[in-house]
A and B are shown apart, each in its own frame.
Chain A
Amino acid sequence: MEFIDYYKVLGIDKKASQEDIKKAYRKLARKFHPDLNPNDKEAHKRFQQINEANEVLSDPEKRKKYDQYGKDWQHAEQFEQARQSRQQPHGFERETFSGDFGDSEFSDFFRSMFGDMGSGGFRQRQTKFRGEDYHAELQLNITDVHKTHQQVLTVNGKNIRITIPAGVENGQQIKIKGHGGPGINGGPNGDLYITFHIVNNTKFRRDGSDLYTTIDLDLYTAVLGGEIFVDTLDGKVKLKVKPETQNGTKIKLKGKGFPVYKKEGELGDLIITFQIKIPTNLTEKQKELFEQLAKLSS
């Protein structure tokens, strides 16, 4: 557990007045308030530090204790016992912002020094409050999201069975309603937000619901035409190749791409690019025949 320099957190001098503290706190709180920085974990963390620093420095009793013990905070307990025998003073003006926080938002350092005294925010009052929103990240292979499936996730120690819709995009966030923190006094539960990281474990490239691949085609099939088997995500399909197919020719296999998100049964396309392979290590006979072809063409 590390010592936290609350003065540094608020960017103020140790001799700062209550007015200076209030001013610094308000300025930083406006910058890092979670409501103004949604999904920004760094801002959320900074805001907690700012709140904690203000909780200590804006309270003359806590500030006195903090200043007195500072880096020697491990001995604060003795001070606390002595302090409890005296009457706690009142009359100072203090404010603490709540953000959209969970139950335990103070650092170990703070709790070790001051115990579990909360900020006295909204949560202590007898009314319904919505629970905290949870955020989780889930890494899946592209083949995992090819079909809608169910998966059991463990979030904050609880197992939650969720349905992952086919066609989820990399970086996409979905909301699972009511699977966040429990509501307060009968209020609704918060929501669970899951951000997907989709790893492409196939040879296909994905652009939304369309898949792309490049296929090597031998010269003879390209010139004369024929039938080949190509891989799709559902297995192999037979494909007719037109005679005189050019290098770089693209063909589209409709409905052989990736599922369209939240559109049951709708699939994108598979776009195939032909890359014609010129034969190498020709035999004398083959060279001769190519020369004949060349003469015919000139």
Chain B
Amino acid sequence: MEPEDMIALDEFCASHQMDVSFIRSLEEHGLIETIIVNETICVRDNDLSKLEQVVRLYQELNVNPEGIDVINNLLQRIEDMQNEITQLRNKLNFYEEDQ
């Protein structure tokens, strides 16, 4: 029995109709992290959102693990750029107020 904040990988895979080997390949690509609890491979509740996203990209858009890795990196870059845009926008407002 897995702890409250863990989800057994077998259970997750069964419900999403996917092979455990796929999740293991995601782990090899550093896309997700699994933990062994009482001899059961589990994922953390906190990582569920990320794992579900990865599964959606795989199942719905047919993106392979390498592609998902590329997408994740690009999404991270977009987020960083959006934060930078917010900062620059605030700076621009600062100078516009000065006019």
Report A's interface with B, CB cutoff 8 A: 29-30, 33, 35-36, 38-39, 95, 97-100, 122, 125-130, 133, 169-172, 187-188, 190, 200, 205-208, 212
Is B86 among interface residues, defined by CB-CB distance under 8 A? Answer: yes
- Identify which of A38, A122, A170, A206 contacts B16 (C-beta below 8 A): A122
Scan B49-90; emit 1 where CB is below 8 A from any A CB, else 0. Answer: 100110011001100000000010001001100100011011
Is A205 within 8 A of B90, CB to CB?
A: no
A293 nearest CB across to chain B (Å): 33
Using Cβ atoms and an 8 Å threshold, which residues of chain B touch A169?
Answer: 86-87, 90
B8 nearest CB across to chain A (Å): 9
Q: Give Cα distance in the complex from A172 to B45, angstroms.
A: 26
Is B39 among interface residues, defined by CB-CB distance under 8 A? Answer: no
Using Cβ atoms and an 8 Å threshold, which residues of chain B touch A99?
Answer: 56
- Contact A30-B75, Cβ < 8 Å, known A125-B15, A187-B45, A187-B48: no
Is B94 within 8 A of A206, CB to CB?
A: yes
Is B61 within 8 A of A33, CB to CB?
A: yes
- Contact A97-B53, Cβ < 8 Å, known A36-B71, A128-B7, A130-B48: no
SS of A interface (majority): loop
User: What are the 6 tightest A-B residue pairs by CB atom distance, in nearest-first order?
Assistant: A127-B15, A171-B86, A188-B45, A97-B60, A130-B48, A125-B15
Q: Give Cα distance in the complex from A30 to B57, angstroms.
A: 9
A96 nearest CB across to chain B (Å): 9
B58 nearest CB across to chain A (Å): 11
Using Cβ atoms and an 8 Å threshold, which residues of chain A touch B94?
Answer: 205-207, 212
- Contact A129-B86, Cβ < 8 Å, known A29-B61, A30-B61: no
- Contact A171-B56, Cβ < 8 Å, known A127-B15, A128-B48, A130-B49: no
- Number of B residues near A (Cβ < 8 Å) is 31
Q: How many interface contacts (CB-CB < 8 Å) are there between A and B?
A: 80
SS of B interface (majority): helix
- Identify which of A126, A133, A190 contacts B15 (C-beta below 8 A): A126
Which chain A residue lies CB-closest to B68?
Answer: A35
Q: Give Cα distance in the complex from A36 to B75, angstroms.
A: 7
Q: Give Cα distance in the complex from A221 to B66, angstroms.
A: 69
Is B86 within 8 A of A188, CB to CB?
A: no
- Contact A97-B56, Cβ < 8 Å, known A127-B15, A188-B46: yes
- Identify which of B5, B15, B48, B56 contacts A35 (C-beta below 8 A): B56
Q: Give Cα distance in the complex from A98 to B75, angstroms.
A: 19
26 residue pairs from A and B, CB less than 8 Å apart:
A33-B56, A35-B56, A35-B57, A35-B71, A36-B61, A38-B78, A39-B82, A100-B52, A122-B15, A127-B7, A127-B11, A128-B48, A129-B52, A130-B52, A133-B49, A169-B86, A169-B90, A170-B93, A187-B45, A187-B48, A188-B5, A188-B46, A205-B97, A206-B94, A207-B90, A207-B91
